Amino acid sequence: MPVALVTGASSGLGRALAAALADAGWDVVVDARGASRLTKALAPYPNVHRHPGDVTDSRHRRELIAACTELGGLDLLVNNAGGLGPSPLPALGEFPLSSLEDLFTVNVVAPLGLIQLALPILAERDGTIVNITSDAASAVYPGWGGYGATKAALEQIGAVLGAECTGSVRVYSFDPGDLRTPMHQAAFPDEDISDRPLPESVVPAFVKLLEERPSNGRYSADDLKTTEVSA
């Protein structure tokens, strides 16, 4: 049975991806900071292994990798856990620097920490790394400078890692687009976001990425829905 590690799986996209993988027969190791919410979110799935904790904690990251090893190895790492920063989103001229440092820790340092631990066991099974990103990494949206800067850094890490991984490990940045998630609601606290698609809507694009295993790079859900990807 293939093994996946999905971070930030108590809600939103992380929960949707973990549930889809579990439905497809994967063993899925998941984490999130809230133990009760994580347990409730994925209660119907006996093959989902819950390990509550904070990905910024290096000991917790080692525990996650140990849990995967106990299941036989690791085929897929999904770096989904992340932060938005202050809400409402502040302009860069007023962005609290301590909050920006925290944001880089959770959105950049923690994913790279997991990647460094996971690479050896991913390599043993021709594994895949998927870093969840955003168009805010390159588009210019007032207020999104802090969050976008962290996603740009994560994309660059993915791109360089993809060039460095000359073996069988695949490395992707996956942009799901705007979704109806708690984080997106926090970005627009006074708006009705019920017109945004549910996280489950991008699962087919994510599965397509895993199944077709194209070249390392950045892929959006919209692109994967409408185009063939080149291997």
Q: How far is C-alpha 37 from the geometric centre of its chain's CA atoms?
A: 18
Q: What are residue 76's DSSP bridge partners?
A: 4, 128
Is residue 45 annotated as part of the catalytic site, yes or no?
no
DSSP 8-state symbol, 189: T
Structure tokens at 179: 């979704």
Cα–Cα distance for residue pair 56/102, rounded to 1 Å: 9
SS3 28: strand
The CB density around residue 25, as the number of other CB atoms within 10 Å, is 9
Helix H or strand E encompassing 4:
strand 3-6
Residue that the structure tokens 């999905």 belong to: 6
Cα–Cα distance for residue pair 179/165, rounded to 1 Å: 31
Considering the candidates 45, 141, 147, 219, report the single residue annotated as catalytic.
Answer: 147
What positions carry a catalytic annotation? 147
